[in-house]
Amino acid sequence: MDNGFWGQLKRPFFALAPMEDVTDYPFRTMLTRHGKPDVMWTEFVSADGLCHPVGRQALLPKLEFDPETERPIVAQLFSASPEKMRQAAYLVADLGFDGVDINMGCPDKAINAQGAGAALIKDPSLAAELVIAAKEGVSSHHRPIPVSVKTRTGWNRDELETWLPVLLETKPAAITVHARTKKEMSKVPARWERVKAAVEMAEGTGVLILGNGDVRDLADGKKKAKETGADGIMIGRASLGNPWVFNPKKKDVTIEDRLRALVEHAELFERFYGEGRKFEVMRKFSKAYVSGFDHAKDLRISLMEACDAAEVRRIVSEWNSSACV
């Protein structure tokens, strides 16, 4: 089985988790500048939308990446239509991505209502069809790329022993196991013993297993990889406000580091989106950068009023000046 770039990674490798409205081009650029993971991941994108001319134009910004700094990079798609998945997977290969991933773990009600995301756990036969369709789509391209899957341990209950073999049978290059069920969301600690079980089930198949859920940093990830045997570790929420999370050389992050990164991120956001996206979206990032130090709350309150990158820079500059008094 040709795993493409996956087979070239030194284990355990580290990947950026796909997060809606988070892992966009500006966010990933921050990582490439401060601590690039071994594998990049986009936000998830609707395969159905990509197959419609109008929808495609609206969604293509989510699939913009820098081929010089972001490789290997995987585009994540969601759909309940094998035909749409086939077409969209071909498009992802045509756009130059290194891999395509199928979202089978998103707990969002609107996504699940379409039969996509975590709802596919309830329809194993359709899930298998989607993987096969994606593989057919990329194999028809002159530059075929590997197909992977990101999923959870179950819907309302843990059903990994019956669910994972269905996916393994389709032989994707890799499967990321978020060690919680859809019902559990992120409300309970991730059960990493289930990642270990997934590794054992995948033994001999050639399918790589990544573990995901509650990974705090590289040291924590390496520990979890050793305990479970996972080929790779995916980090998500710990990367918010911390573009150094994948950087083994960055040991101590200062308040000044965080504030400089916030301004840098705001400028990247504004430069990339212009007036095409409301600057208010930056607020979640401001909250992540500005936390855990004295008077952080006051600074966050001020930043919530910022309407552009220049305002962010001004607020941070004034706060720095007052903090030095």
Look at residue 322 in the predicted model and tell me its pLDDT.
79
Angle value at C-alpha 1, between 127 and 141, nearest 5 degrees: 70
Q: Is 106 a catalytic residue?
A: yes
Look at residue 1 in the predicted model and tell me its pLDDT.
52
Angle value at C-alpha 89, between 148 and 213, nearest 5 degrees: 30
Look at residue 325 in the predicted model and tell me its pLDDT.
42
CB atoms within 10 A of CB 66: 13
Task: Give start and end residues of each alpha helix (H) in 160-211.
Answer: 160-169, 192-202
Which of 51, 106, 307, 324 is flagged as catalytic? 106
CB atoms within 10 A of CB 15: 27
Q: Where are the domains of the chain?
A: 4-239, 255-323
CA 119 to chain centre: 19
The pTM is what? Answer: 0.96
Domain 4-239 has CATH 3.40.50.300: no
CA 269/CA 264 separation, integer angstroms: 9
- DSSP lists the bridge partners of residue 233 as 14, 211
- Radius of gyration (Cα) for the chain, nearest Å? 20
The backbone torsions φ and ψ at residue 42, rounded to the nearest 5 degrees and listed phi first, read -85, 175
Q: Which uninterrupted H or E stretch holds 147?
A: strand 147-152
> What burial class does residue 79 get, using C-beta atoms within 10 Å of its C-beta: 0-12 exposed, 13-18 middle, 19+ buried?
buried
CA 302 to chain centre: 29
- Residues 71, 213, 229, 134: is their CA dihedral positive or negative? negative
Note whether 82 and 133 are within 8 A (CB): yes
Look at residue 324 in the predicted model and tell me its pLDDT.
57
Note whether 163 and 151 are within 8 A (CB): yes
Distances (CA, A) of 10 to 201, 208, 296: 21, 12, 39
- Which of 213, 7, 228, 47 has its CA nearest to residue 138? 47
Note whether 77 and 18 are within 8 A (CB): no
Contacts of 105 (CB under 8 A, 6+ apart): 117, 118, 150, 151, 152, 176, 178, 182
| pLDDT tens across the length of the chain (325 residues) | 568 999 999 999 999 999 999 999 999 999 999 999 999 999 999 999 999 999 999 999 999 999 999 999 999 999 999 999 999 999 999 999 999 999 999 999 999 999 999 999 999 999 999 999 999 999 999 999 999 999 999 999 999 999 999 999 999 999 999 999 999 998 899 999 999 999 999 999 999 999 999 999 999 999 999 999 999 999 999 999 999 999 999 989 999 999 999 999 999 999 999 887 889 999 999 999 999 888 899 999 999 999 999 999 999 999 988 765 4
